[in-house]
């Protein structure tokens, strides 16, 4: 499959940059946020609604689609794009994080991972080669290598062993990759240990992948520690390859990571929060179930142009949520994803216009957050 990443502009203060990714299913701009469509659907929304919101690419999950309905079934039906009626790019996560979350239901060895399905308890064996086979059948545009996501905290020796095995798994994925397979991204591991992260990057970069992800973060470590890991890691990654921070995150985390040179993000936060009645606004999050909104005629955010804010009041959204109506999840999800798409658009615009630092300070000020960003993060 075709894959190309081009850097369009770099920020003069930080490591942030604007880029463009080209695939067989279209192009998208970076920094980018990929809504999570774990089982081939971004919960509660149609593909047409995602396009209207401004979504350019989505994430689906290898583990879940392998179990149900099965990658071979999807392959026979024309691949994932056809199956889910999504014509734009798709990135598939290999399932390493889902396997990590299974806990006692999985056993890791050098060969791969034996795990029990969370659906019916059936036993399965996932190897690096199998992960490539599955993603080949799905026909995604970007595939991830199989990795082990280590919990925080974990003993240094365990993290080291896991990181080295992840690197060997990455090499096995690369060795079975075919010419028309999706672009392949490696996953940097190493926990919160600087020497392990640097060793992981060195090993993977020598192999040569089309992109590099940073895994094993946002798993319980302090935010400051996550930012330190990004600070150590991104300077060692190839300048002309996309950098992907997996499973992150909040709007503030995204801005902080962009300033440290990250290009791709994904997280269930905007969609999961929407289903739980938590909505993002230009002045912070609100919980729509609160009694103060019972007769509030205002939209969720008076500065927002999404479908929900153009047509519905906070009072009505509160009523839908408390009544457990399906429409509540739909309208809330439309708003939250629109907020994220708009945020990323504003970040790209700020980089383009050379005012990212001002944007960072303004955003944090509106949300009551610290506005300091030390110039030791500056790229030279």
Record the pTM. 0.96
Q: Are 165 and 124 in contact (CB under 8 A)?
A: no
Looking from the CA of 65 toward its CB, the CA atoms found within 13 Å total: 33
> What is the pLDDT averaged over residues 178-193?
97
124 contacts 115 by C-beta, under 8 angstroms: yes
Write out pLDDT tens, residues 300-349.
999 999 999 999 999 999 999 999 999 999 999 999 999 999 999 999 99
Confidence band of 378 (pLDDT split at 50, 70, 90): very low
pLDDT greater than 70 at residue 377: no
Q: From the options 3.40.50.410, 3.30.70.260, 3.40.960.10, 3.20.20.105, give the CATH code of 3-267.
A: 3.20.20.105
Tell me the per-residue pLDDT of 242-273, one tens digit each, with 9 for 90 and over: 999 999 999 999 999 999 999 999 999 999 99
Q: What's residue 371's pLDDT?
A: 57
- Alpha carbon of 223 to those of 191, 192, 217, 227: distances in Å? 13, 11, 9, 6
24 is catalytic: no
Q: Is the pLDDT of residue 297 over 80?
A: yes
pLDDT at 379: 43
Angle between helices 251-258 and 326-352 (to 10 degrees): 20
pLDDT reported for residue 380: 37
Question: Of 147, 263, 266, 301, which residue is the catalytic one?
Answer: 266
- For the chain, what are the domain ranges? 3-267, 276-365
Q: What percent of the chain has pLDDT over 90?
A: 91
Average of per-residue pLDDT values in the chain:
95
Confidence class of residue 104 from pLDDT cuts 50, 70 and 90?
Answer: confident
Share of the chain above pLDDT 70, in %: 97
Quick check: is 228 catalytic? no
Q: Name the active-site residue from 11, 93, 141, 301.
A: 93
pLDDT digits (tens, 9 = 90+) for 124-138: 999 999 999 999 999
22-58 core/surface letters (b: 16 or more CB in 10 A; e: else): ebebeebbbbbbbbbbbebbbbbbebebbeebebbbb
Q: Is pLDDT of 216 > 60? A: yes
Q: How far apart are CA 198 and CA 283, in angstroms?
A: 38
The rounded distance, in Å, linking the Cα atoms of 55 and 41 is 13
* Predicted local distance difference test score (pLDDT) of residue 101: 79
């Amino acid at each position: 499959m075709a894959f190309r990443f081009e850097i369009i502009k770099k920020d003069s203060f930080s490591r942030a940059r604007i880029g463009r990714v080209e695939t067989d299913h279209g192009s998208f701009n970076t920094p980018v946020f990929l809504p999570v469509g774990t089982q081939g659907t971004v919960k509660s929304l149609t593909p047409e609604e995602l396009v209207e919101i401004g979504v350019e690419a989505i994430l689906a999950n290898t583990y879940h689609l392998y179990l149900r309905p099965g990658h071979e079934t999807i392959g026979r039906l024309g691949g994932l794009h056809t199956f889910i009626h999504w014509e734009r790019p798709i990135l598939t996560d290999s399932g390493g994080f889902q396997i990590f979350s299974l806990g006692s239901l999985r056993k890791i060895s050098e060969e791969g991972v034996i795990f029990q399905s969370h659906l019916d308890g059936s036993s399965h064996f996932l190897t690096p080669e199998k992960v490539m086979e599955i993603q080949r059948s799905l026909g995604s545009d970007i595939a991830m290598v199989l990795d082990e996501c280590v919990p925080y905290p974990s003993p240094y020796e365990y993290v080291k062993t896991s990181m080295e095995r992840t690197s060997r798994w990455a090499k096995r994925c690369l060795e079975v990759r075919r010419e028309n397979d999706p672009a392949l991204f490696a996953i940097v591991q190493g926990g919160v240990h600087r020497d392990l992260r640097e060793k992981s990057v060195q090993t993977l970069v020598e192999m040569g992948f089309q992109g590099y992800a940073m895994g094993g973060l946002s798993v319980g470590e302090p935010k400051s520690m996550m930012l330190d890991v990004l600070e150590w890691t991104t300077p060692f990654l190839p300048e002309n390859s996309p950098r992907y921070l997996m499973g992150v995150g909040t709007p503030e985390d995204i801005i902080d990571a962009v300033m440290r040179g990250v290009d791709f993000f994904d997280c269930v936060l905007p969609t999961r929060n929407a289903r739980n009645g938590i909505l993002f606004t230009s002045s912070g999050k609100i919980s729509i179930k609160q009694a103060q909104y019972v007769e509030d005629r205002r939209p969720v955010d008076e500065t927002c142009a999404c479908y929900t804010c153009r047509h519905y009041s906070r009072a009505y959204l509160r009523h839908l949520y408390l009544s457990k109506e399906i429409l509540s999840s739909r309208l809330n999800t439309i708003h939250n994803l629109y907020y994220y798409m708009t945020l990323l658009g504003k970040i790209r615009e700020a980089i383009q216009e050379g005012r990212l630092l001002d944007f960072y300070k303004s955003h944090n000020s509106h949300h009551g957050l610290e506005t300091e960003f030390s110039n030791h993060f500056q790229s030279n």
